[in-house]
Amino acid sequence: MMTDNYLLLGAKKKLIEELRQKGITDERVLAAFDKVERHRFVESFLWDKAYENKALKLMNGQTISHPYTVAFQSQLLQVQPGDKVLEIGTGSGFQAAILSAMGARVFSVERQQQLHLSAKRLLEKLDDRIVLYYGDGFQGYPRFAPYSKIIVTCGAPEVPAALLQQLAVGGIMVIPVGDESHTMRRIVKVDDNQYDEETFGDFLFVPMLKERVNVK
Ligand code: SAH
C-alpha cells in the first residue's frame, strides 16, 4: 500500500509538470492539483490512471473531466480567495474540490441524484466546506446568489438566463457552449444588462440536460 501511494505521488508530480507545459501558469491552480488527490474521486480499479491527462468514467455514463480541462477552466475563472463560486455539474466533485483548495466558497449543483449523493459522501470526508445541491443547473442555485464566479462543467446548448442573473456585477462565468463540440466562453458581467465575452477554443463535454433525474 505504501508503494502504491508513493507511485501515485510521483504520477501526480508528473501531471502537474504536464499541465505547466501545456500553459497552466496560475500557481494557485497548480498548488490545488498538488493538494487534491484525483484518485480519491474515481473507483479503485482506475487509480493507476487517475494522474494521466484523461477523462475517466464515473457511474451513470458520466465522466470526470480531463485534468487539463479542469485546470484550464479554473485558470480562466481567475479565482480569488473568498470568491463565491457556483459550479454546474458536480460529477465526481473533483473540480469543486480544486476550487475550494484555491480558497473559494464552492456551491455545486448536480442533476443526477446518484452522482450528487456519492460526491456528497466523499466530500463530507475530504472537504466539508463545499455545499452540494441536487437540482437542475439551468435554474442555477438562487438560494446563495449572487456568485462572484460561475463555472459550468457540462456542454450547454446556450447560456442559461438564470445563471447570467445569478452572476454578480463584475463577476466571471466560464461556460462551454455548443451542440456537438463546445466552445469555451468567458463572460464578464459589466453591469445588469452588459456582458463582455471572449472565446477560448473547442472542447468536448457531456451535454447539459434539463431537469433532475434519479436513475440507477
Ligand atoms: N465537474 C465534474 C465533471 C462532471 S461531467 C467533475 O469534476 O467530475 C458533467 C456533469 O454535469 C455530469 O455529472 C452531469 O450529470 C451534470 N449535468 C448535466 N446537466 C446538468 C444540469 N442541467 N444541472 C446540473 N448538472 C448537470
List, for residues 83-136, the tens digit of each pLDDT value: 999 999 999 999 999 999 999 999 999 999 999 999 999 999 999 999 999 999
| Dist. CA 13–CA 31, nearest whole Å | 11
Residue nearest to atom 11 of ligand 1 (CA): 89
- β 63-64/56-57 pair status: antiparallel
CA 104 to ligand 1 center in whole angstroms: 19
- H/E element holding 96? helix 94-101
CATH number for the domain harbouring residue 45: 3.40.50.150
Kindly state the cell numbers that stand for 134.
Answer: 441536487
Nearest CA to 172 among 199, 150, 144, 156? 150
CA 91 to ligand 1 center in whole angstroms: 5
List ligand 1's pocket residues with C-beta within 6 A: 62-65, 88-89, 91-92, 94-95, 109-112, 115, 136-138, 153-154, 206, 208-209
Instruction: Please check whether residue 100 lies inside any domain of the structure.
Output: yes
Provide the total of helices (H) and of strands (E) in the chain, helices listed first: 6, 9
pLDDT tens-place string over residues 159-178: 999 999 999 999 999 999 99
- β 84-88/147-152 pair status: parallel
Q: Which of 65, 74, 100, 108 is catalytic?
A: 65
How many domains would you assign to the chain? 1
pLDDT tens-place string over residues 5-31: 778 889 999 999 999 999 999 999 999
| Dist. CA 136–CA 140, nearest whole Å | 7
**What's the maximum distance between 2 C-alpha atoms anywhere in the chain?**
56
pTM of the model: 0.96
Residue nearest to atom 23 of ligand 1 (CA): 137
Alpha-carbon Rg for the chain, nearest whole angstrom, is 16
Kindly state the cell numbers that stand for 99.
Answer: 476550487
Q: Which domain holds residue 61?
A: 2-203
Is 65 noted as a catalytic residue in this protein? yes
Instruction: Please check whether residue 211 lies inside any domain of the structure.
Output: no
CA 210 to ligand 1 center in whole angstroms: 11
Average of per-residue pLDDT across 69-86: 98
Share of the chain above pLDDT 70, in %: 98
Instruction: Please check whether residue 216 lies inside any domain of the structure.
Output: no
CA 110 to ligand 1 center in whole angstroms: 6
Instruction: Please check whether residue 214 lies inside any domain of the structure.
Output: no
